[in-house]
Amino acid sequence: MKTNSMSTLLFAGLLALMLIVSWSCTNPKTEQPQEFTRPVSEVVTPEWAVDASIYEVNVRQFTPEGTFNAFAAHLPRLKELGVEILWFMPIHPIGELNRKGGLGSYYSVKDYKAVNPEFGTFDDFKNLVNQAHEMGFKVILDWVANHTAWDHPWMTEHPEWYNRDENGNVIAPFDWTDVADLKYENNMPLWEAMTDALKFWVREANIDGYRCDVAGMVPVEFWEQARVALDEIKPVFMLAEDEGERHLMKKAFDANYGWEMHHIMNHIAKGEQNASHMWTYFRKNDSIFPESSYRMYFTSNHDENSWNGTEFERMGEGTKAFAVLSYTVPGFPLMYNGQEVSLQKRLLFFEKDEIDWNGADISGFYKTLNQLKKENPVLWNGSHGGKMRPVKTNNSSELFAFARKKDDSKLFVFINMSASEISFTIEDDKAEGTFTDVFTTQEFELSKGTQLTLPAWGYLVLR
């Protein structure tokens, strides 16, 4: 019976495929199906996020003390660096049951409405937020909605809130043995409790939004109702650690991760891909996400640094070139703490492992990029920035060349995505005018036929 049913299904499938192919061939100009049209976001992003870049803070590793008060001393330096949004990795008490390492993972949350005593007190954090606000920063918290620590009170108070295997045992997702998986399906009391905890930090600590861990593993509908509840308190900014669940970007989140672009950069650095793969990515990106939403681009973050290596390990001599790319393409650039001093070590995740602030200081490089983004509307986030188009040259494999324009502002970017010097000729009628390189202040006259040379991993950002 199963074999016959399978044969029938296969025949029906083949027949349907033949009809689709026949229909496509006889209707070549038919519009794309609705599911392939670019979605429209209903999220209203706060005005302050339009020209912002983001800086990730690992409180434990930032200073010898590893406290909020010790970090606060760095605010003037970060202000000078030009970042605007401070993203704090989870600051909650860390579970002790099944803990990994000596200090445990920040993402094993024991209490959603409390502060890790290692970092200070709740008042210390509120004071830090107030200081940051007074200096013009915005503050977002890392939020872990998908799972809790094994010794979170919910484990005993609401055991039905957790997913279980066929033997009735609570599930730890993947190899995350220090956390227990929450059950959102048909569980409105959990939705209400989690939303209440999210509202607590906006209401009581005056934070400005959240970076939401593994957001795609939590129902889209949960995030949508949570966004409404938070915006009723104050307009918030929501960043999803996700790229696959595009529906998150319709009603819940302002920005998500550009993981795929990050992986392409790593592959290019190793010589496994080239600049043409980057254009393939952007064409796909433009077709599936709302124009108003942001992709966050980065050369490092806490996951990459601890588990896959520093940017220098993964990208080598191309590190700065890829940072320039992350800041100048349509998107939202991230700095991970320590990058401004060329952080050369993988920070331990479950132990104290302080950032070495004595590395090569390249804060001027990042300051230039942050100022460029802030001052030039063509680089603003989402639909507020200028559209990106390829600049025609005689080299499309090693060279990534593009232009962005908004009103009277123009920007031309040329990045050598190879380990060899390249020379190229501009073959673009629209690439015309006198421009200044933002890093060297050297002037360049561009026109069709202009010949330029870039060293290995070299770049020009002309405005």
Tokens for 162, please give them.
Answer: 């957790």
Structural domains present in the chain: 47-385 (3.20.20.80), 389-462 (2.60.40.1180)
Q: What is the pLDDT of residues 298-329, one digit of tens each?
A: 999 999 999 999 999 999 999 999 999 999 99
Task: Say what the pLDDT of residue 132 is.
Answer: 98
Average pLDDT, the chain: 92
**Residue 34 pLDDT > 90:** no
Task: Say what the pLDDT of residue 39 is.
Answer: 81
**Least confident among 11-25, 26-40, 55-69, 175-189:** 11-25
DSSP assignment string, 96-137: -TT--TTT--TTSBS-TTS--TTT--HHHHHHHHHHHHHTT-
Task: Say what the pLDDT of residue 159 is.
Answer: 98
Task: Say what the pLDDT of residue 376 is.
Answer: 96
**Residue 20 pLDDT > 80:** no
Percent pLDDT > 90 in the chain is 90
3-state secondary structure of 341: helix
**Residue 234 pLDDT > 50:** yes
For residues 190-222, one letter each, b for 16 or more C-beta atoms within 10 angstroms of the residue's C-beta and e for the rest, the string is bbebbbebbeebbeebebbbbbbbbbbbbebeb
168/181 Cα distance (integer angstroms): 13
**Residue 24 pLDDT > 80:** no
Q: What is the pLDDT of residues 188-210, one digit of tens each?
A: 999 999 999 999 999 999 999 99
Task: Say what the pLDDT of residue 37 is.
Answer: 64
244/256 Cα distance (integer angstroms): 10
Task: Say what the pLDDT of residue 226 is.
Answer: 98
User: Looking at per-residue confidence, does 341 or 30 come out higher?
Assistant: 341
What is the end-to-end Cα distance of the chain in Å, rounded? 70
**Residue 251 pLDDT > 90:** yes
Is the C-alpha dihedral spanning 57, 58, 61, 64 positive or negative? Answer: positive
**Residue 1 pLDDT > 50:** no
pLDDT class of 38 with cuts at 50, 70, 90:
confident
| Stated length of the chain | 463
